[in-house]
Every structure is written in C-alpha cells, then in structure tokens.
Structure 1
Amino acid sequence: MAAVPVAHADHDWELGRRVRVAGGEVAYDVLGEGPAVVLTHGTPSWSYLWRNLATELAATHTVYLWDLLGYGDSALDPGVTPSIALHAATLAELAEYWSRRRPVLVGHDIGAGTVLRAHLTHGVPTRGLALLDAAVLTPWVTPVATHMQTHLDAYRTMPVHVFGEVIAAHLRTATHQPLAPATEQAYLGRFAGEAGRQRYLDQVAGFCDEDTRDVAAALGEISVPTLVAWGEHDNWLSVETADELSEAISRSHRVVIPDAGHFLTEDAPVATAAILRAFLERLL
C-alpha cells in the first residue's frame, strides 16, 4: 500500500493522509510521538469523535486515527458493503502498513467490535484494549437500525428533508446533553443530500450481529489489560452490557462515566480523556 498525502482543507477537523486498502481508500492521520495508540470510531460518526482526545493523547503517544471505510473521508470501492468484518480486515491491513509493534487499540461502538475482531480473528497484536460503549455482545443492532434495515426502500425514497429529520432525532439520543449546533452539524453534514442518505443507509445495511458473535465467544481468550468504559446514560447500549462484557474478559477494568450517554467523548470529554490516559500510563 502506498500513502498519498493530501492537504488539509479549511475545516475544523480533517484527516490529512490517504492510503489504498483492499476495500477502498482510507483517510488517516498520525499525531504526536511515543507508544502507539490506534483510535477507531463507531457509527454514525467519524474520526471527528476523537478530535479533543486525540490531541491530548498526542502529548505522550503516537496517535493513529482513521475513518472507517464508507465513513468520514474514507471511500468504499464500488460494490463493497461496510461492515465490522470489513473494518476489522482493514484495520489489520493498516496495522501492518503502520508497522507499529503492539499498539493499544481503542474502539467506540462498532469500532470496539472492529478492534476486537482485528485482534482475535486477524491476529493484530496489542498491548491493551480500550472498549468504549462497545457494540460487541449480541444483540447490538439498535431497534432504529433494525427498522431501517427492514424498510430500506421506504427510507431511500422518502423526501430527503424528512430523512434528515429522522437521523437528526436519532443522533440526539446518542448523547446525554444536547450537542452544540456546530458539533451536531459536523456529524449530520456527512449524511446531507441524496449522496449522504445513500451513505447512511449503506452503513445501516451492513450492520450484522453475526460479525461479532464469534468474537464474543472468544472474549475469554483476551490476555492483555482491557478497559471497558461506558456512559451511565447510554440509550443505545445499556450500562448492564458493560458488566457482561467486563465479566467475560479476565484482565478487564470497568468504568462507568456519570452524566454521559453513548457518545462519551462528546458528553464527558475531560473525564473520558483522564480515564484513558490513566489506562495508558499503566501500560507503560
């Protein structure tokens, strides 16, 4: 794979590097110096989710960020469907390309399922795992996503402005506190217009509990220190899921963050950063 540098546009957040992988072209970036940490976002988000956390961690670590294929600025090849299985295979490619020995793998939502699958199925080595509001244990496909999967044709043909209101309402349930208008737009803007709707529904179509069923069965094989962090008011994946996940991983440490919903880094950026920094320091 060959990296192709691109210039930063005049945006608040944009990844500045590109690399070809088996399923398309990945947007990524590298910040800071030190032990390696890879940050993998979930849905319906992109690397913007990490913007504050990444710059803080870069003071002591080399931080790798990337947009999942079909998300953010990463582009899928024609005919490729985004899924946790695809994302995990892509992360395995990236880990080899970056050539960093045993990075800490951090994942949020389906990003947590992605890093677990990359480690357990593809053998990506790691010094530790941080799983934030993790979409791993079945069922993790939310009722809203399930309804969309069942009625994809209806969602593809409804007026675009109505579809925009639907996904905006859904995004507002991802946090415990309202997002600032500019922050909300940074997420929703990725799904604007016909092309944005197609992207959103393609992502939803790729959600599948089967992509993590074998991973969940193998959680007992994890031998590295693991952080399980959860928002106390997660409306998408209940905090009880954190208990179940932590119990299945022998070397895990469970933390529940007060006044936070599913998007931890939006509701509680300072607390989330402090918890992750403390975890990383224990691995040094």
Structure 2
Amino acid sequence: MDHEQWSEGQDELSVTVDGHDLTAAYYEFEGGEEPPVIFVHGIPTWSYLWRDIAPEVGSDRRVIVPDLLGYGNSSMEDGFDRSIRAQEQMLEQLIDDLVDGDVVLAAHDIGGGVALRYAAHNSDRVAGLVMSNAVCYDSWPVEFISDLGLPETADAPVEQIEQQVGGAFEAGVYEDEADPEFVEGMVAPWLSEEGVTSLSRCAVSTNTNHTTELDYDEIDTELLCLWGGEDTFQPIEYGERLVDDLGGEMVELEAYHWVPYDRPEEYVEHLEAFLTENLG
C-alpha cells in the first residue's frame, strides 16, 4: 500500500509525556495470535518503514506499528521532548493501553534504543526482542542525523529537506534503485513547515547518554539481531556486542542500514521462526 493508504488506516492514542498531552498514531493488525509484535521505527523514518513486513506478520499474529512522537502522523507541534527517553514513555503508555500481557518488540535504528530502554525497565512484559541496525551503547548519533539537528535545518525550505532526506533513501538501498513509492512515503511527513521543524527537533534530541546509561543486565528476554552487515551508520559489531552481553542470535543480512526495506522476505522468515521457537 502507499503512504496515504497507510495513514488512512491508522488509529490514534492520547499520551502524556513530561506534562505534554500528545497524540500517538499507530497501525494495527488485529485478530491474530498473542503476544503482539510491536514494530518500532527510527529516524528519519516512521511506521511506514514496516509496510512490507507488518502486514505479512499480521496475517496470523497481532501487530501494532506506532509512529514515534514527532514522526509520521503523531504529534509534531514544537515544544516537547523527542528523545528516546521520551519515546520510551510513549511506548509504555501505548502498551499499557492496548495490550493486556507480554509483547515482542521488533525495532530499527533509534527505535532499537527505545525498545532496549523499555525492556530494561519492564523485563517482565517483553517476551522477545528483535533488533535491526539498532542504536545501542555508544553507537550513535551519526553525522547525517547530527547535521539534520543544526539550527539552520529548522528554517530550511521544504524542497531542501525533501532532497536531503529522500537522497538518503535513494542512495542507501542495497541493490538496484529505490522504489519511488517507498521514498515518497518516507519523506512525506516532513514536507511541511511543521514537519521540517519537527525533523530538526527529532535530530537534535538524539542523546547517546540514553543508551550508555542503561543497565543491560536488566534485560532478560530472548534476543534476535537481524542486521544489515554492510551498514556504516550502525555497524554490525554493535549488534554482536548485544548478543555477547544478552545472549541470543545474530543473523547477518546482505543490506546496508535500511534492512526492513532491503530484505523484507528474509526479515519475515527469520522473525516468524524466532516467534515459533520462543513463543510456540
């Protein structure tokens, strides 16, 4: 489906983060087996990143795919915290409101940092973690994102952001040319004055302390790393460190950073095998 159809299918949830009343948008595939899989995106993406994966997994398992605050169709107004610490608060409220029992968290990029924080603080509710090219330890931020957080980005024309962000997807796919529908969908939320400012605020809120401060020993769940082995943003060595520290399995996929786009079939295959092995 295209990004407009995806947006039309989303629901909304009211959340409160640091005293700010905000709205979190999410796409849900209902009626499948529990526990649900919650897919968490990173920067500068949104829930549409999972367009080729969530529907497949959602054919027989409940799936929830939120937009982080400041991203996609969630609240974008200025003046609230967009760090992964704040996103953890949003994720906790979403899970408390929508899920009675455990969850499986599948996450990419800074979504991985959000998921790791939630798992460290709520280990009794996480039945499994699937990390893909995820921020962890001191692996981030990266120069591309830091540049998006420069003061001039907040005042940049929409056309500049479209070229800058769109180019990251067009040049970042592993094989052939990027699907224009995918690139259009990825940049669409940022193509307004509010969107440009929100992107800048999201970028400047990337804070390495929010993963270095974690006690990784508090994470007690099954782990699968599905990692694009050629990634220079989040090198595979960090995923290997996660596996060394937490236990679990590393599966190296032939991809750069955007592994959910580059390898959706393999991603679904390995994820479903992980769910079958660990959840029955």
The TM-score with structure 2 as length reference comes to: 0.89
Aligned AA for 1:183? F
In structure 1, distance between residues paired with 2:180 and 2:60:
31
Match for residue 223 of structure 1?
220
Q: Residues 89 and 122 of structure 1 are in contact (CA less than 8 Å); yes or no, is this contact kept in structure 2?
A: no
Match for residue 133 of structure 2?
133
Q: CA RMSD in A?
A: 2.0
Determine whether 1:107 maps to 2:107. yes
1:165–1:77 distance in 2 versus 1, CA, 3 Å: closer
Q: Secondary structure of 2:249's partner? A: strand
Q: Is there any run of 5+ residues in structure 1 with no aligned partner, and where?
A: 1-8
1:148–1:11 distance in 2 versus 1, CA, 3 Å: closer
Q: Residues 139 and 234 of structure 2 are in contact (CA less than 8 Å); yes or no, is this contact kept in structure 1?
A: no
Deviation at 1:124, TM superposition (A): 6.2
Q: Residues 174 and 262 of structure 2 are in contact (CA less than 8 Å); yes or no, is this contact kept in structure 1?
A: yes
1:73–1:270 distance in 2 versus 1, CA, 3 Å: same
Determine whether 1:278 maps to 2:273. yes
Cα deviation digits, residues 41-72 of structure 1 (max 9, x gap): 11111111112211111122111111111111
Q: Secondary structure of 2:4's partner? A: coil
Q: Residues 16 and 28 of structure 1 are in contact (CA less than 8 Å); yes or no, is this contact kept in structure 2?
A: yes
Q: Which of residues 243, 246, 250 is equivalent to 1:249?
A: 246
1:53–1:226 distance in 2 versus 1, CA, 3 Å: same
Deviating beyond 4 angstroms after TM superposition, the runs of 4 or more aligned structure 1 residues are none
Q: Is there any run of 5+ residues in structure 2 with no aligned partner, and where?
A: none
Q: Secondary structure of 1:21's partner? A: strand
- In the TM superposition, 1:232-271 aligns within 5 A as 232-250=229-247, 252-258=248-254, 260-271=255-266
Determine whether 1:19 maps to 2:20. no
Q: Residues 57 and 272 of structure 2 are in contact (CA less than 8 Å); yes or no, is this contact kept in structure 1?
A: yes
Structure of higher RCO (CA pairs closer than 8 Å, 6+ residues apart)? 2
Match for residue 97 of structure 1?
97
Q: Secondary structure of 1:39's partner? A: strand
Deviation at 1:80, TM superposition (A): 0.6
Match for residue 71 of structure 1?
71
Which is worse superposed, 160-169 or 83-92?
A: 160-169
The TM-score with structure 1 as length reference comes to: 0.88
Instruction: Give identity over the alignment, percent.
Output: 24
Match for residue 207 of structure 2?
208
Which is worse superposed, 91-100 or 166-175?
A: 166-175
